[in-house]
Structure 1
């Protein structure tokens, strides 16, 4: 049974069934039943997205995003797309090289052979390790395969998997940075409210004398009905996190995110037991095995897979099922345009992290209603790269 510490999903819980007979599902097949879409090429495009103003958390100040667009071409002219990124420009060639290293594991495959690709890619990364950039390379290709599957079948990913809901509650995460003054925080929080958000996240310095006045001003500005999350970005010790966490409880915090370094599961479990506020973590975990260790350590109340680090759609879904088996809710990390489809397919999904970092690269905007992100029915991710934007931002 779920603890009342958890932030639970709300909204339309209707289940979409019968998708095998959906229009366009036969596009993967010849009239004799044989499959005909084959992946023929993998392409990448390095991109740079500068920020108007630097943004900062407890561990970094970010001036731009270095992105890698991934394309899988087929013999039928259908192309699958995906996106990965880094905040450090010098790391982009490493990501690009890792994706290209896995090229032979996907060329010649059919779009729905995601599990076969994963098994082959897993074998190929054996010597270099099962975390870090090797998993990001797998995630880049896996996500493009899922987008391709949806485009070839004429279905969005959530309907390929089995949709759980048509809208997902979202929280505003693209603001409330450490680099902002208290007055700027309040003004931005009010702007989030005007846009319909009923949940938002504040970045912490990890010091009570800085964080508590900012949190107090924010709670007074948004009122008691808005969910406020806080994120320490791995910047604290267990002792300090417990002390600050207890003082923050007066402000009714929805979750305390990554108070400790991601690898320190033992001490994170101590923080979780010591506080009434739910602990959210997982954006720095890799694959189902990392999340299994987190669950076994009882280190978090809410699991937060990141599409790029967890290993793509295939692995995100496995983590979602693993979390459900332990009655744990799942919140997404970054990539809202893509994470939305997965969150729409998980019955234990809670809040979708929303920020607009990558929105300039897409043709279609995300749609919202009453603080809920609407899951698009367009094929694949439901979002397509804007070719003019790619040309403008390419390196």
Structure 2
């Protein structure tokens, strides 16, 4: 019998401003505008005995208010439920919005509740989420992305690289995918010469190449010893990524734009990637991410989840094989706590649950607050 059911559920939107606008190849090709902020969908779940779980999801550019609207639609269905029944509650929330899809906005709204439920479960156990899941290690290699955007000049990128390495980051990722391939190759080569052969480097084309361009780019990048080449093709071109994987020495990474277990399973089925880059908030939270981790493990894939290091540090440490976690500091102003980085590795927090609480500044950025109680 459940003696401590969910009694209160609260959702809101928090717009976190970036220090400066950033652009990747999608801006260079005219498909998007520069990114100026991150919208966080915040969820808090409280039980009858006053125990609380906190979670969040996010959107870049459009979509934040759509996530909030769907979260408001389904929040009331958690009232009276046993918060330990995380798998069943995920299915319940997914079926509520099944007529409008079990991908995209609907599952990204569910993700905030799902993370909050795992946060609560781990807090009850007095452990971090990573430890609750059965951590294989207490730290993972990490790499910086925020310093390598195309909106920064090469000189700025080199300064950012130096700062990242001095801060203890273990690797560097550069954005590529500009209309002029020669500029991309020259940029990556310049950074490789700057840092030397031993610093791990990655390149991310953000889906902006066709197969021929990706093959030509990949063959030139093969000479530079990259850890991976990310999203050279459309995220849904599973066969194309598989063909590139067969033809290039550089491993292929993809998965961040997918928003369901079924889509990520296609990457595994086609053997499209060496690095699975599933994003927990985008695919519906920790519950579906664990299923993706299982099929990735069975295929002996490596793991490099996209963005939200505050969540992915836990999932990276719980993966059977060593995983890379992406360092992007954009969300730090929203939280009171910081992740620790030493000698190229990010440390699993020893705080219970997710290990993060909202900053006073984040509370002033909130809008659309919606609270339901039994």
Q: TM-score range by the shorter chain?
A: over 0.9
Would you identify which runs of 4 or more consecutive aligned residues in structure 1 move more than 3 Å?
Answer: none
Structure having greater relative contact order (Cα 8 Å, sep ≥ 6) = 2
Shift of 1:166: 0.7
Instruction: Tell me the distance in 1 between the aligned counterparts of 2:109 and 2:274.
Output: 29
Please give the alpha-carbon distance, in whole angstroms, between the structure 1 residues aligned to 2:289 and 2:229: 22
Conserved 8 A contact 1:234-1:261: yes
Alignment equivalent of 2:131, drawn from 143, 159, 178: 159
Hey, what does 1:14 align to over in structure 2?
A: none
2:14 corresponds to which residue?
Answer: 47
Which position in structure 2 is the counterpart of 1:276?
249
Shift of 1:35: 4.7
Q: Is 1:58 paired with 2:30?
A: no
Measure, in 1, the Cα distance between the counterparts of 2:88 and 2:37.
35
Give, in whole Å, the separation in 2 of the partners of 1:202 and 1:176: 4
Q: Deviations over 1:212-232 (max 9, x none)?
A: 111111011111110110000
Q: CA deviation at 1:83?
A: 1.6
Residue pair 2:317, 2:323 contacting (<8 A) in 1 also: no
- What residue in structure 1 maps to residue 370 of structure 2? none
* 3-state secondary structure, aligned to 2:281: helix
RMSD of aligned alpha carbons: 1.4
Q: Hey, what's the Cα distance between the residues in 2 that align with 1:326 and 1:363? A: 38
Q: Is the CA contact (8 Å cut-off) linking 2:169 and 2:342 kept in structure 1?
A: no
SS, match of residue 36 in structure 1: coil
The answer to whether the 8 Å contact 2:169/2:341 transfers is no
The residue aligned with 2:336 is 363
Check if 1:334 corresponds to 2:307. yes
TM-superposed deviation, 1:75: 1.0
**Is the Cα contact below 8 Å between 1:281 and 1:302 reproduced in 2?**
yes
Equivalent residue number for residue 123 of structure 1: 95
After TM superposition, the score normalised by the length of structure 1 is 0.88
Map of 2:321 onto structure 1: 348
State whether residues 41 and 109 of structure 2, in contact with CA within 8 Å, keep that contact through their aligned partners in structure 1: no
- Residue segments in structure 1 that go unaligned for 5+ positions in a row: 1-33
2-structure distance, mates of 1:156, 1:36:
24
Aligned length: 360
Structure 1 residue 146 displacement after superposition: 0.5
C-alpha distance in 2 between matches for 1:389 and 1:36: 36
Which of 189, 192, 199 lines up with 1:219 in the alignment? Answer: 192
Measure the CA separation in 1 of the matches of 2:224 and 2:326: 21
Partner secondary structure for residue 86 of structure 1: strand
